[in-house]
A and B are shown apart, each in its own frame.
Chain A
């Protein structure tokens, strides 16, 4: 199985800050990497696929980069609605696997 490791597991940031979350795969997954946002009590929402492609309707403040084993999700100018938990997921091979999540909290 491909292990997905996210860091940090949580972070505190202020409104207006830029934050970056890292996701590391245990083996090469090319660019088959997706990012999801999840708010409490809600289903995950797809933000980015193919490591850097933005889902339709997702604001450009979200951006993804990376390939192979190292990936990042960046959120510019944090707003109150961005405080949530973010997950990465690889879809290069079965079993599909998720990272442990990064909780973005208000400082």
Chain B
């Protein structure tokens, strides 16, 4: 059974850096074609893909946010970490991590999400 869970701060101040951790079980990021992605959703709005990291450490980013994002993995801990710099109130959203087992990637299992509020 695949599970993912996001963790991190619920409140960050403008200009700060957000660090979110996705801890997963039921699969390995050493397995060929496996990837973990991050998607966010502002309150009442649609989903937005942010980043994705693959088993071979290939990384993909949303072009509109690429300069602010970094995604890394710790295979031994079954974790994927997303950092987003220079946070702004418009970045207030629920942040989800999700699993993909195929190429091209599609998200078949999602974490429960974590709400991050950006406010001074």
Contacts and interface: CB of A to CB of B under 8 A. Distances in A.
B55 interface: no
A49 B108 contact: yes
A100 B105 contact: no
* Interface SS, A side: loop
A95 B51 CA distance: 9
Interface string A28-39: 000010101000
A98 B104 contact: no
B90 to A, nearest CB: 17
Contacts, number: 56
B106 interface: yes
A92 B48 contact: no
Interface string B44-66: 00111100100000001111100
Which range holds the interface residue count of chain A? 20 to 34
B110 A44 contact: yes
Contacts of A49: 106, 108
Interface in B93-120: 96, 104-113
Q: Which residue, B62, B96, B104, has most C-beta atoms of chain A within 10 A?
A: B104
Given A34-B107, A49-B106, A91-B106, A96 B49 contact: yes
A99 interface: yes
A45 interface: yes
Contact of B104 (A42, A91, A101): A91
B47 A87 contact: yes
11 contacts: A43-B113, A44-B47, A44-B96, A44-B107, A46-B106, A55-B108, A87-B47, A91-B104, A95-B49, A96-B37, A99-B46
Given A44-B47, A89-B47, A96-B37, 6 more contacts: A43-B96, A43-B110, A46-B109, A91-B105, A95-B60, A95-B64
Interface of A: 1, 32, 34, 36, 42-46, 49, 55, 87, 89, 91-101
